[in-house]
Amino acid sequence: MSAPISRFPVPDIADLPADLRERVLAVQEKSGFVPNVFLALAHRPEEFRAFFAYHDALMEKRTGLTKAEREMIVVATSGVNDCLYCVVAHGAILRIRAKNPRLGEQVAVNYRKAEITPRQRAMLDFAVKVTTRSAEVDDQDYATLAAHGFAPDDIWDIAAIAAMFAMSNRLANALGIRPNDEFYAMGR
């Protein structure tokens, strides 16, 4: 009755190249399950590697934006793009990282009403602008963020996370990646 994990074949974990298998098993050990995006992208090992290398560079960084803030960007922009996989999976991570069981839905549905700071609101305004009309980004946007205390490299991070999930949302939507049932209940 449940939809398939992806519109494309999903390889057995045992058949994966060693580096992918290691990554998949590590996330399984940490989370208790394998998020479907790992299985779906494993159909193309080279793209899997590039995707998660990019992801980790942006999402696991330890300076500047907090990890919860990085997830806010993912959830707000994935909401704009109507990406079920990313809203559900990253909504769960956001609830956990922010220790707030309401934040996932708030940021996905209307971040303007979420329980966030004015600084975070400015961050999400910019992220959504990058998502919906990046051709209009201008000096004023940079000045507004600077006035909220964001360093230039923080601004790069906001833009790059919004950009990376513009990709990720389209992949998940077009390849039909189904969110794991486990995500829905996490962090409540």
Using CB under 8 A, list all residues that contact its own copies.
Answer: 1-3, 7-8, 43-44, 46-47, 49-51, 53-54, 57-58, 79, 81-84, 87-88, 91, 101-102, 105-106, 108-110, 112-113, 115, 130-131, 134-138, 142, 152-153, 156, 159-160, 162-164, 166-171, 173-176, 178, 181, 184-185, 188
Nearer to its own copies, 24 or 162 (CB): 162
Cβ-in-10-Å burial (0-12, 13-18, 19+) of 37 comes to buried
In contact, 90 and 70? CB cutoff 8 Å: no
Nearer to its own copies, 29 or 60 (CB): 60
Nearer to its own copies, 13 or 137 (CB): 137
φ, ψ at 60 (rounded to 5°):
-100, 5
Give the integer Cα–Cα distance in Å for 92 and 100.
10
Structure tokens of 65?
A: 């934006």
Nearer to its own copies, 22 or 153 (CB): 153
Pick the closest to residue 78 from 101, 104, 54 (CA basis). 104
Nearest-approach distance from CB 131 to its own copies, in angstroms: 7
